[in-house]
């Protein structure tokens, strides 16, 4: 496919690419250069009304489209994403600031995996039956809900956008989807791909705009019966307050403040390499990154020295360069937020072991939003730095003496998304995994993902789970039918 990315992006409604009804646009900035390089529709409730109208028209046919047909369209979308990997990866990097090699090896491949996974998943999705001896039999229908809303964030733009859209479509729903206004381009291109793959008009509608005007219009629309949201806990709270009195189905994937718990008996080299990745991948802007590193006291000094050394050697640079391990933060606003968090850490008495400053990259990227990977020690579990999500290349180190203390520190958070445990003692790994308050636990690894597993957090990290059957159950309405003999 030949992708032309216009300066003014358009909404994808009813199979057509159209501008916002208000005529207003929002600037789109390349965070590596600081330059405005496009504009996106500043859509509002009128655009959402138009999208709902298109979805309403498409739903009767899509909801009864045979599974094999749905499979082949979604699978075709996956193929087209793969075929256009280079163009999509470049668009993602220009929009987000992440290294191009990362977009090519993680973000875009995962977007096609999402479609392929749910294309095949729906072919195997079975429902339950409950026999009542000789009295009756119950069977459960799982029918598409109707029109559903999918709202996603900027950190893994196409990856998380498709993680919601693919199961929603596979289950027979029509979708109103909104990508982050900070990273809109690959979502725009997905509209082109869906059209080329033969997805019927109105089945997927992609509307661009800001959270308060466009996102909230999706949440408030009475015909949109379920909302799948990934983003901040603050926005999740707002969405829940609107959706709950309307009795909408809600899936909320929110923030995290994840612990990495490192025991002295770990596989040192594997732990070190992985902890660098789990701390700083995507400039620390992954909800699953471990931002609170808890280290057993007997290895604390050794860990600190080697971790600092390896952190200092991470090259921060132009995301288009192969050698850049770290790219730019996503926006000026987010750059300011992370720099303020580093300032707060200092005020709280934290010692900056390495990093702590903005990074100037000469040349093309001299006005970009780069921050040195930063390691902080000397702060306890109750300070702001260890309580609030920073979502940048910033981690703290704390030491513990016993397993109990490690657990106390790990659970000293209002969040509960993910945790990493490093130990060679299998009994301890199981004990600690059972007691850490997180929806996702990795033992001796990080970000190893099987798309069949339940994905999501507890506490303020969200409600509900995505992935595998969980996603297909979320996007369907169960109906029990009881037949008496």
Active-site residue set: 253, 287
Segment contacting ligand NAD by CB under 6 A, of 3-11, 115-123, 230-238, 341-349: 230-238
By CB under 6 A, is residue 451 in contact with ligand NAD? no
Question: Looking at beta carbons only, is 151 or 339 nearer to ligand NAD?
Answer: 151
For the bound state, the minimum distance from the C-beta of residue 326 to ligand NAD, rounded and expressed in Å, comes to: 18
Q: How far apart are CA 193 and CA 290, in angstroms?
A: 35
Question: Looking at beta carbons only, is 101 or 154 nearer to ligand NAD?
Answer: 154
By CB under 6 A, is residue 181 in contact with ligand NAD? yes
Radius of gyration over alpha carbons of the chain, in Å?
23
Question: Looking at beta carbons only, is 50 or 239 nearer to ligand NAD?
Answer: 239
Cα distances from 356 to residues 149, 310, 359, in angstroms, run 39, 15, 9
Reference 331, options 33, 6, 92, 8; nearest CA is 33
By CB under 6 A, is residue 178 in contact with ligand NAD? yes
Phi, psi at residue 110, to the nearest 5°? -70, -35
Decide if 331 contacts 448 (C-beta within 8 A).
no
By CB under 6 A, is residue 337 in contact with ligand NAD? no
Question: Looking at beta carbons only, is 372 or 389 nearer to ligand NAD?
Answer: 389
98 to 137: interface string for ligand NAD, x by CB under 6 A = ----------------------------------------
Greatest distance between any 2 Cα atoms in the chain: 79
- 3-state DSSP call for residue 165? helix
For the bound state, the minimum distance from the C-beta of residue 236 to ligand NAD, rounded and expressed in Å, comes to: 7
By CB under 6 A, is residue 231 in contact with ligand NAD? yes
By CB under 6 A, is residue 13 in contact with ligand NAD? no
By CB under 6 A, is residue 259 in contact with ligand NAD? no
By CB under 6 A, is residue 417 in contact with ligand NAD? yes
347 to 386: interface string for ligand NAD, x by CB under 6 A = ----------------------------------------
By CB under 6 A, is residue 176 in contact with ligand NAD? no
Cα distance from N-terminal residue to C-terminal residue, the chain: 57
By CB under 6 A, is residue 31 in contact with ligand NAD? no
By CB under 6 A, is residue 256 in contact with ligand NAD? yes
| Displacement of CA 257 from its chain's centroid (Å) | 15
By CB under 6 A, is residue 88 in contact with ligand NAD? no
By CB under 6 A, is residue 50 in contact with ligand NAD? no
Cα distances from 482 to residues 139, 188, 243, 478, in angstroms, run 7, 45, 31, 13
Which residue among 158, 287, 345, 365 contacts ligand NAD (CB under 6 A)?
287
For the bound state, the minimum distance from the C-beta of residue 273 to ligand NAD, rounded and expressed in Å, comes to: 23
- 3-state DSSP call for residue 233? helix
Residues 136-155 that bind ligand NAD (CB under 6 A): 151-155
Decide if 127 contacts 142 (C-beta within 8 A).
yes
Reference 435, options 406, 464, 415, 462; nearest CA is 406
Decide if 379 contacts 396 (C-beta within 8 A).
yes
In sign, the C-alpha dihedral spanning 149, 154, 155, 161 is positive
By CB under 6 A, is residue 314 in contact with ligand NAD? no
Decide if 7 contacts 39 (C-beta within 8 A).
yes
Q: How far apart are CA 253 and CA 375, in angstroms?
A: 27
By CB under 6 A, is residue 45 in contact with ligand NAD? no
By CB under 6 A, is residue 157 in contact with ligand NAD? no
The size of the chain, in residues, is 485
By CB under 6 A, is residue 187 in contact with ligand NAD? no
Question: Looking at beta carbons only, is 210 or 308 nearer to ligand NAD?
Answer: 210
Which residue among 74, 90, 203, 219 contacts ligand NAD (CB under 6 A)?
219
Decide if 403 contacts 261 (C-beta within 8 A).
no
By CB under 6 A, is residue 294 in contact with ligand NAD? no
**What number of chain residues touch ligand NAD (CB under 6 A)?**
32
Reference 317, options 367, 284, 365, 278; nearest CA is 365
Q: How far apart are CA 413 and CA 55, in angstroms?
A: 41
Which residue among 254, 260, 299, 471 contacts ligand NAD (CB under 6 A)?
254
Which residue among 356, 462, 464, 467 contacts ligand NAD (CB under 6 A)?
462
Decide if 342 contacts 394 (C-beta within 8 A).
yes
By CB under 6 A, is residue 345 in contact with ligand NAD? no
Name the token pair of 458: 């507890």
For the bound state, the minimum distance from the C-beta of residue 449 to ligand NAD, rounded and expressed in Å, comes to: 12
Helices (H) and strands (E) in the chain, counts: 16, 22
- 450: which residues sit within 8 A by CB, 6+ positions away? none
Segment contacting ligand NAD by CB under 6 A, of 43-51, 227-235, 271-279, 428-436: 227-235
**Which residue intervals of 247-388 are DSSP H helices?**
268-280, 297-312, 332-347, 384-387
Residues near ligand NAD (CB under 6 A)? 151-155, 160, 178, 180-181, 210-212, 215-216, 219, 230-232, 235, 238-239, 253-256, 287, 389, 391, 417, 457, 461-462
């Amino acid at each position: 496919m030949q992708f032309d990315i216009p300066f003014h992006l358009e909404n994808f409604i009813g199979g057509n690419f159209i501008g916002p009804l208000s005529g207003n646009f929002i600037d789109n900035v390349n965070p590596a250069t600081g330059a405005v390089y496009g504009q996106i529709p500043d859509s509002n409730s009128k655009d959402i009304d138009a999208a709902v109208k298109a979805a309403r028209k498409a739903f009767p046919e899509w909801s009864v489209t045979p599974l094999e047909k749905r499979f082949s369209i979604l699978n075709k979308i996956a193929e087209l994403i793969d075929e256009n990997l280079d163009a999509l990866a470049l668009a993602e990097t220009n929009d987000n600031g992440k290294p191009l090699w990362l977009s090519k090896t993680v973000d875009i491949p995962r977007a096609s995996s999402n479609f392929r996974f749910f294309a095949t998943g729906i072919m195997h999705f079975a429902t339950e039956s409950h026999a009542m001896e000789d009295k009756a039999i119950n069977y459960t229908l799982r029918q598409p809900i109707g029109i559903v809303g999918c709202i996603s964030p900027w950190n893994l733009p196409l990856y998380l956008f498709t993680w919601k859209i693919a199961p929603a479509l596979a289950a027979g729903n029509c979708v109103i989807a909104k990508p982050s206004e900070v990273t809109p381009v690959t979502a725009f291109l997905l509209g082109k791909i869906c059209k080329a793959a033969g997805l019927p008009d109105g089945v997927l509608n992609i509307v661009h705009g800001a959270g308060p005007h466009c996102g909230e219009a999706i949440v408030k629309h009475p015909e949109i019966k379920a909302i799948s949201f990934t983003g901040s806990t603050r926005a999740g709270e707002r969405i829940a307050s609107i959706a709950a009195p309307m009795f909408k189905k809600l899936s909320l994937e929110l923030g995290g403040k994840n612990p990495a718990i490192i025991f002295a008996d770990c596989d040192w080299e594997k732990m070190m390499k992985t902890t660098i990745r789990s701390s700083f991948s995507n400039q620390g802007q992954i909800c699953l990154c471990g931002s609170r590193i808890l280290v057993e006291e007997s290895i604390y000094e050794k860990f600190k020295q080697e971790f600092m050394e390896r952190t200092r050697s991470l090259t921060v640079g132009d995301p288009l360069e192969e050698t850049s391990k770290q790219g730019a933060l996503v926006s000026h606003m987010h750059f300011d937020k992370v720099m303020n968090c580093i300032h707060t850490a200092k005020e709280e008495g934290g010692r900056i072991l390495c990093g702590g400053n903005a990074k100037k990259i000469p040349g093309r990227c001299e006005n970009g939003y780069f921050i040195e990977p930063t390691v902080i020690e000397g702060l306890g579990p109750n300070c702001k730095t260890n309580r609030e999500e920073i979502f940048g290349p910033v981690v703290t180190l704390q030491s513990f003496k016993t397993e109990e203390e490690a657990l106390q520190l790990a659970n000293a958070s209002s969040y509960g998304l993910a945790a990493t445990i490093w130990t060679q003692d299998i009994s301890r790994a199981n004990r600690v995994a059972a007691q850490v308050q997180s929806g996702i636990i990795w033992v001796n690894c990080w970000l190893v993902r099987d798309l069949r597993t339940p994905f999501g957090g507890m506490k303020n990290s969200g409600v509900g789970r995505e992935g595998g059957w969980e996603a297909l159950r979320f996007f369907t309405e169960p109906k029990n039918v009881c037949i008496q003999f």
